[in-house]
Amino acid sequence: MEGNVLIIGLGLIGGSLALCIKDEHPEAAIIGFDVNHKELRLAKTLGVIDEMSMTLEQGAEKADLIILSTPVTQTEKILEILNNADLKSNVIITDTGSTKEQIMEASMPLKAKGLRFIGGHPMAGSHKSGVTAAKKILFENAFYMLTPLDGGDDHDIEILKKWLKGTRAKFLIVRPEEHDELTGMISHFPHVIAASLVHQAKGSSRDHPYLRRLAAGGFRDITRIASSNPVMWKDITLQNKKVLMDIMVKWKVEMEEVISMISDNDSERIYNYFNEAKIFRDELPVLEKGAIPAFYDLYIDVPDYPGVISEVTAYLAEERISLTNIRILETREDLYGVLVISFQTMEDREKAAECLKEKTDYDLFLE
Contact 361, 312 (CB under 8 A): no
Query: 145 falls in which pLDDT band (50, 70, 90)?
Result: very high
Checking if the pLDDT of 286 tops 70, the result is: no
152, pLDDT greater than 80: no
- Classified by CATH at the fold level, domain 4-174 comes out as Rossmann fold (3.40.50)
Query: Quick one: pLDDT band at residue 332, thresholds 50, 70, 90?
Result: very low
Task: Note the CATH architecture for domain 179-282.
Answer: Orthogonal Bundle (1.10)
Inform me whether the pLDDT recorded for 136 exceeds 50.
yes
pLDDT surpasses 70 at 141: yes
The span from the CA of 27 to the CA of 107, in Å, is 29
What are φ and ψ of residue 114, in 5° steps?
90, 10
CB count in 10 Å sphere of residue 246: 13
Q: Which of 130, 117, 3, 135 is nearest to 67 (CA)?
A: 117
Averaged pLDDT score across all residues of the chain: 88
**SS3 label, residue 116:** strand
* pLDDT band, very low/low/confident/very high, at 329 (cuts 50, 70, 90): low
Range scoring the smallest mean pLDDT among 41-55, 131-145, 162-176: 131-145
Report field, pTM of the whole predicted structure over 0.85: no
Please give the pLDDT value at position 333: 39
Query: In this predicted structure, what is the pLDDT of residue 293?
Result: 63
Task: Tell how far CA 66 is from the center of its chain.
Answer: 21
Q: pLDDT tens digit string along 22-59?
A: 999 999 999 999 999 999 999 999 999 999 998 999 99
When mean pLDDT is compared across 20-24, 255-259, 358-362, the lowest value belongs to: 358-362
Please give the pLDDT value at position 65: 97
More confident residue, 288 or 134: 134
Between CA 116 and CA 110 the distance in angstroms is 7
C-alpha span between 303 and 309 (Å, rounded): 10
Range from 108-112, 159-163, 204-208, 363-367 carrying the lowest mean pLDDT: 363-367
Torsion, Cα of 204, 209, 210, 212 (10° steps): 60
Task: Please write the tens of the pLDDT for every residue from 191-216.
Answer: 999 999 999 999 999 889 888 888 77
The pLDDT, as a whole number, for residue 334 is 40
pLDDT of residue 335 exceeding 50, the answer is no
Higher pLDDT, 210 or 237: 237
Average confidence (pLDDT) over 154-179:
94
> How far is residue 325's CA from residue 327's CA, in Å, rounded to a whole number?
7
Contact 42, 11 (CB under 8 A): no
pLDDT tens across 299-315, in order? 887 776 778 888 888 88
- Residue 159: the pLDDT is 95
Lowest mean pLDDT among 114-123, 215-224, 336-345: 336-345
**pLDDT above 60 (res 331):** no
* Res 175: pLDDT: 93
Could you tell me which of 91, 65, 88, 78 has the C-alpha nearest to residue 166?
A: 65
> Over 70: is that where the pLDDT of 219 sits?
yes
What Rg, from alpha-carbon coordinates, does the chain have?
23
- Domain limits, CATH 1.10.3660.10, in the chain: 179-282
Q: Which of 261, 207, 13 is nearest to 122 (CA)?
A: 13
Q: What is the mean pLDDT of residues 89-107?
A: 94
- Where do the CATH 3.40.50.720 domains begin and end in the chain? 4-174
d(CA 37, CA 224): 31
CATH topology of domain 296-365: VC0802-like (3.30.2130)
Which of these ranges, 69-73, 221-225, 330-334, 348-352, has the smallest mean pLDDT?
330-334
Is the CA virtual torsion 8, 47, 122, 199 positive or negative?
negative
- Please tell me the predicted confidence (pLDDT) of residue 337: 59
Residues of the chain with CATH 3.30.2130.10: 296-365
In what helix (H) or strand (E) does residue 102 lie, and over which residues does it extend?
helix 101-106
Statement: residue 321 has pLDDT above 60: yes
